[in-house]
Amino acid sequence: MSSTIRETGARGRTRRAILDAAASVLSRRRDATLAEIAAAADVGRSTLQRYFPDREELVSAVVEDSLQRLDEALQEARIDEGPPLDALRRLVTAMLDVGDHVLFLYGDPRITDAIAARGGPDPAAEEIKRLIRRGQAEGAVDPEVSGDWIEHVLWAHVSAGCTAVSRGKLPRHGASAWVVRTLENGIGARTTP
């Protein structure tokens, strides 16, 4: 069954619960068992295996689902609208809102293969690169720092924020402000006094 199919009703809710639980559990422990994932989803292992017969199929579905959730979050953030720093703030908030999925993707070495299988460049990465270039062109983001480096720093900051939330070190509502503050202080354009 394709992970892009949207199911409704109880079956859709169960599938969603399994995918969300798997992203959450696997983002913290890559070696988690199917039984642990089923428990986190509040379903029996046999129910989990009716949806995903083996671990590999489940992990593949979580990769695809997490990519889709991140794509949707980026679309909702509307990072091509408004001033670059406002767009960056919306981007960080959107990414933190799907934090378990970001952590799962950030820590999975197979993500590059999954993106390549979609055909072409990663649309999310391309949107983020455009935002960074726009921020540099408009003077909001330091033009002397490589765009690739800024993108890596962005992902690292978001990952740190997601990790802090998942470990209970930061409240979800406060994480975005901390990530944005440290990110802006690091990549913001320098002004001469």
Cα-based torsion angle of the residue sequence 75, 76, 79, 85 in order, rounded to the nearest 10 degrees: -150
pLDDT tens across 18-43, in order? 999 999 999 888 899 999 999 999 99
Q: Is residue 176 part of a domain?
A: yes
CA 78 – CA 68 distance, rounded (Å): 16
User: What residues does 141 pair with on adjacent strands?
Assistant: 188
Q: Is residue 3 part of a domain?
A: no
pLDDT tens across 87-125, in order? 999 999 999 999 999 888 877 666 767 667 777 667 778
Q: Is 188 helix (H, G, I), strand (E, B) or coil?
A: strand
Query: Which residues constitute the domain of residue 34?
Result: 9-187
- Whether the pLDDT of residue 59 is over 70: the answer is yes
Q: Is residue 90 part of a domain?
A: yes
**Whole-Å CA distances, 15 to 40, 46, 102, 105:** 13, 13, 19, 19
Q: Give the model's pLDDT for residue 3.
A: 42
Going by pLDDT thresholds of 50, 70 and 90, the confidence category of residue 53 is very high
Q: Is residue 192 part of a domain?
A: no
CA 125 – CA 151 distance, rounded (Å): 8
Q: Is residue 153 part of a domain?
A: yes
Average pLDDT, the chain: 87
Q: Which of 23, 191, 190, 177 is nearest to 89 (CA)?
A: 177
Comparing 5 with 147, the larger pLDDT belongs to 147
CATH of residue 107's domain is 1.10.357.10
- Whether the pLDDT of residue 49 is over 70: the answer is yes
Number of domains in the chain: 1
Q: Which two tokens stand for residue 63?
A: 């990769």
Contacts of 105 (CB under 8 A, 6+ apart): 63, 66, 67, 70, 111
Residue type at 44?
A: G
Q: Is residue 136 part of a domain?
A: yes
- Whether the pLDDT of residue 191 is over 80: the answer is no
Q: Is residue 2 part of a domain?
A: no
- Whether the pLDDT of residue 71 is over 80: the answer is yes
- Whether the pLDDT of residue 2 is over 50: the answer is no
- Sign of CA pseudo-dihedral 165, 166, 168, 171: positive
Q: Give the model's pLDDT for residue 134.
A: 94
